[in-house]
């Protein structure tokens, strides 16, 4: 049918149709780009506003007509933010908790994932299914009891209380087990024939092959320590053990009304900076881990 | 075959994980259920030797609490607003990103940026953007020093400034701010998952549709959405679960006040209610609320799975 139509069309008509199609295509393309770029600017705006505000003098921030770049760049806001929120101590606390819990968590995760992926034992499938089922339960349900448990153990206001309860993540075990399962079993059997021990095999073969997943877990775990708020506030809210997010909120309790925003925004920028650096250099691993997790931190 | 020596080894590998899980995951499940069904259970009184009778009083009391109902309402409203808005926006952005070549990588990176942020820290930035600085109390001697960048933009386009989050602000204005912030926060994950789904759709479907002369809208509705439906179902379910656990984004904007200065707790959520009960040592009440939260999440998830079983094309 199309052929018949084509024949009756003059060459001029065909050219006109082609031109019209090209125009529509161009307009659609323009529309798509316009939409994406406007959305990207909206997404970026808070970051720009944070930096812009953090560099202003208080007087300039309080001008009724906003300025889009500070007249006088106040780097000193960052120094006062650092001092006001005692950011140095908070950074150190968070790094200690982040590093220790990441290392311990990686060891536990690797060992359990190996057991689930390679070793045979009674009730393996049932135990694994049971673990996966706990992922459905909201964390608050655990927190209520855990709060009592750590109080009785005398762990409040220690690093331990920030590290131990979250050492095991069923999701990470699941993630790593899937990765381990992709490594052919023949490799394991060959190693057994050669008399290689399980631990040596795990260290020499499986860990290097699963390195991308391990890096993803490391980053997510560190980001988790950096962003955790509820649990640290509940159990370790003293100056000696306070973590960064909690400390930030504590140092700047005023959110509405007459706030010294430039200093507050400088503190926010300082807290956000490490996350951005991780993002810039390790984006690939974060995106890999995130697309499978669906949770933040 | 499986011999006992191997069994033994497997359990050694699992021992550290199981030890932590038993104390901090398995025991809490039982204990939280237990506390929920003990009338007026309080951890403090329990350590002093008090005993509590069995009953469903905690649940009845929680459901009668005005504060709990308001928390439930806030959580529901935020869920119902943010999940569809963020899903539709993320779908449009992902489809747009998938259809372009130049700038695709850089735009993709920008759209992922909000994921790598601290909800409290960036919440403070959003608060600064919406906040009216000055002695703004809705009285005649109010003094607006600066109306905040969002109000500046509204005024630029000829609108009147809105009291978004300050003393005397409207509930609807508060919810609007929270919706904007939560959607901003939820977009990256959804775009990431949906774009990944789009990129795995076989190009041949589109070629075939183009040969048939199908319109763009038809291709979108008949090919893209059905083939993307598993990913859409996934982001909707995780969106609802995340939405029902909303808490820190509100602390980010309103502080621990959980509401404007004249109405603390107005924007409190289910999770906030649980922590408030915990800090007053009312573990029974907290446990009952946590089980209700779990029940809601379970029902919503099953409902979503049921609907998507009918609608999702695998």
User: What ipTM goes with this model?
Assistant: 0.89
Q: pLDDT digits over A159-208, tens only? A: 999 999 999 999 999 989 988 988 888 888 888 888 888 888 888 888 99
Residue-level pLDDT at B9: 87
Residue-level pLDDT at A5: 53
Q: Is residue A71 part of a domain?
A: no
Which among A53, A111, A255 has the least Cβ separation from residue B16? Answer: A111
Assess whether pLDDT exceeds 90 at residue A38. yes
Structure tokens at A245: 């997010």
Q: Is B258 left (phi over 0), alpha (psi -120 to 50) or beta?
A: left
Q: Of A4-8, A21-25, A129-133, B213-217, give the lowest mean pLDDT range.
A: A4-8
Same domain for A143 and A274? yes
Q: Is residue A192 part of a domain?
A: yes
Same domain for A185 and A151? yes
B19 touches A104 (CB < 8 A)? no
Same domain for A286 and A148? yes
- Angle ∠(B168,B173,B175) on CA atoms, nearest 5: 120
Assess whether pLDDT exceeds 60 at residue A6. no
Q: How many helices (H) and strands (E) does chain A have?
A: 16, 0
Residue pointed to by tokens 């933040």 = A296
B27 touches A145 (CB < 8 A)? yes
Q: Can you give the residue range of the structural domain that contains A40?
A: 2-54
Structure tokens at A10: 């003059």
Q: How many domains does chain A have?
A: 2
Q: Is residue A65 part of a domain?
A: no
Q: How far is A64 from chain B (nearest CA, A)?
A: 4
Residue-level pLDDT at B264: 86
B248 touches B119 (CB < 8 A)? yes
Q: Is residue A64 part of a domain?
A: no
Mean pLDDT of chain A: 87
Alpha carbons B206 and B122: distance in angstroms, whole number: 40
Residue of A nearest to B137 (CA): A257
Same domain for A229 and A95? yes
Same domain for A180 and A86? yes
E strand map for chain B: 133-135, 143-146
For an interface test with A, which of B125, B167, B273 has the most A Cβ atoms less than 10 Å from its Cβ? B125
Q: How far is B310 from chain A (nearest CA, A)?
A: 22
Burial class of residue B168, CB neighbours in 10 A (0-12, 13-18, 19+): middle
Measured in whole angstroms, how far is the alpha carbon of residue A199 from the centre of its chain?
Answer: 30
Same domain for A144 and A221? yes
Residue-level pLDDT at A297: 34
Which among B120, B278, B283 has the least Cβ separation from residue A248? Answer: B120
Task: Please compute the mean of the pLDDT values over residues A228-250 and round it to a whole number.
Answer: 90
Same domain for A83 and A49? no
For the domain made up of B68-311, give the CATH fold: MetI-like fold (1.10.3720)
pLDDT string in tens for chain B (314-residue length): 445 666 888 899 999 999 999 999 999 999 999 999 998 888 888 878 888 888 889 999 999 999 999 999 999 999 999 999 999 999 999 999 998 989 999 999 999 999 888 989 999 999 999 988 765 555 556 667 778 889 889 988 988 888 898 888 899 999 999 999 999 999 999 999 999 889 888 888 888 888 888 888 888 888 888 888 888 988 998 899 899 999 999 999 998 889 888 888 899 999 999 999 988 888 999 999 999 999 999 998 888 888 877 766 65
In sequence order, the β-bridge partners of residue B38 are B54
Same domain for A124 and A31? no
Assess whether pLDDT exceeds 90 at residue A84. no
Same domain for A225 and A270? yes
Name the 3-class secondary structure at A144.
helix
Task: Please compute the mean of the pLDDT values over residues A256-272 and round it to a whole number.
Answer: 85
Q: Which residue has the higher pLDDT, A284 or B233?
A: B233
How many CA atoms are closer than 13 Å to the CA of B53, on its beta-carbon side? Answer: 2
Question: What CATH code is carried by the domain that includes residue A250?
Answer: 1.10.3720.10
A284 touches A291 (CB < 8 A)? no
User: Sign (positive/negative) of CA torsion B184, B188, B194, B198?
Assistant: positive
B125 touches A46 (CB < 8 A)? yes
B63 closest CA partner among B300, B302, B293: B293
* Helix pair A76-84, A11-54: axis angle to 10 deg: 60
Name the 3-class secondary structure at B135.
strand
Alpha carbons B125 and A261: distance in angstroms, whole number: 9
Residues whose CB is less than 8 angstroms from the CB of residue B139 and which lie 6 or more positions away in sequence, other chains included: none
Structure tokens at A249: 């909120």
Q: How far is A121 from chain B (nearest CA, A)?
A: 5
Same domain for A186 and A46? no
B249: contact with A, CB 8 A cutoff = no
Residue-level pLDDT at A32: 94
Same domain for A44 and A166? no
Same domain for A81 and A50? no
């Amino acid at each position: 049918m199309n052929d018949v139509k084509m024949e009756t069309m003059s060459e001029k008509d065909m050219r006109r149709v082609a031109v019209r199609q090209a125009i529509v295509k161009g307009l659609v393309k323009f529309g798509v780009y316009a939409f994406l770029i406007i959305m990207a600017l909206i997404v970026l705006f808070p970051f720009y506003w944070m930096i812009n505000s953090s560099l202003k003098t208080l007087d300039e921030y309080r001008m009724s007509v906003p300025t889009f770049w500070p007249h006088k760049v106040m780097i000193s806001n960052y120094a006062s933010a650092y001092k006001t929120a005692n950011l140095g101590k908070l950074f150190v606390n968070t790094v200690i908790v982040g590093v220790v819990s990441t290392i311990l968590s990686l060891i536990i995760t690797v060992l359990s994932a190996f057991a689930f992926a390679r070793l045979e034992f009674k009730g393996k499938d049932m135990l694994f299914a049971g673990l996966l089922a706990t992922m459905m339960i909201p964390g608050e349900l655990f927190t209520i009891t855990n709060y009592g448990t750590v109080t009785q153990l005398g762990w409040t206001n220690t690093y331990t209380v920030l590290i131990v309860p979250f050492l095991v993540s069923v999701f990470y075990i699941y993630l790593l087990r899937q990765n381990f399962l992709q490594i052919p079993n023949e490799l394991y059997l060959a190693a057994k024939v050669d008399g290689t021990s399980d631990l040596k095999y795990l260290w020499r073969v499986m860990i290097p092959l699963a390195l991308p997943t391990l890096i993803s877990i490391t980053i997510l775990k560190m980001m988790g320590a950096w962003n955790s708020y509820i649990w640290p506030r509940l159990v370790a809210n003293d100056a000696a053990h306070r973590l960064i997010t909690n400390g930030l909120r504590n140092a700047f309790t005023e959110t509405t009304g007459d706030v010294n925003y430039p200093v507050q925004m400088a503190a926010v920028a300082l807290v956000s900076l490490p996350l951005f650096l991780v993002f810039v250099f390790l984006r690939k691993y974060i995106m890999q881990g995130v697309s499978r997790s669906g949770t933040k931190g | 075959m499986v011999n006992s020596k191997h069994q033994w080894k497997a359990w050694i590998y699992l021992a550290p994980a199981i030890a932590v899980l038993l104390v901090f995951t398995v025991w809490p499940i039982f204990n939280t259920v237990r506390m929920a069904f003990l009338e007026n259970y309080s951890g403090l009184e329990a350590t002093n030797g008090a005993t509590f009778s069995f009953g469903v009083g905690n649940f009845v009391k929680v459901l009668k609490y005005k504060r709990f109902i308001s928390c439930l309402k806030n959580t529901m409203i935020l869920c119902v607003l943010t999940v569809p808005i963020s899903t539709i926006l993320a779908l449009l952005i992902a489809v747009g990103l998938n259809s372009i070549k130049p700038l695709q990588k850089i735009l993709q990176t920008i759209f992922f940026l909000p994921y790598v942020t601290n909800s409290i820290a960036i919440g403070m930035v959003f608060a600064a953007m919406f906040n009216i600085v000055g002695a703004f109390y809705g009285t005649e001697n109010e003094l607006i020093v600066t109306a905040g960048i969002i109000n500046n933009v509204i005024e630029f386009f000829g609108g009147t400034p809105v009291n978004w989050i300050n003393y005397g602000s409207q509930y609807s204005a508060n919810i609007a701010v929270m919706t904007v912030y939560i959607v901003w926060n939820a977009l990256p994950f959804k775009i990431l998952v949906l774009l990944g789904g789009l990129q795995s759709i076989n190009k041949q479907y589109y070629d075939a549709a183009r040969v048939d002369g199908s319109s763009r809208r038809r291709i979108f509705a008949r090919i893209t959405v059905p083939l993307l439906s598993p990913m859409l179902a996934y982001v909707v379910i995780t969106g609802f679960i995340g939405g029902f656990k909303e808490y820190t984004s509100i602390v980010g904007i309103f502080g621990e006040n959980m509401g404007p200065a004249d109405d603390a707790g107005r924007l409190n959520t289910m999770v906030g209610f649980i922590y408030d009960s915990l800090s007053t040592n009312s573990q029974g009440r907290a446990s009952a609320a946590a089980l209700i939260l779990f029940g809601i999440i379970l029902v919503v998830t099953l409902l979503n799975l049921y609907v998507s079983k009918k609608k999702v094309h695998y």
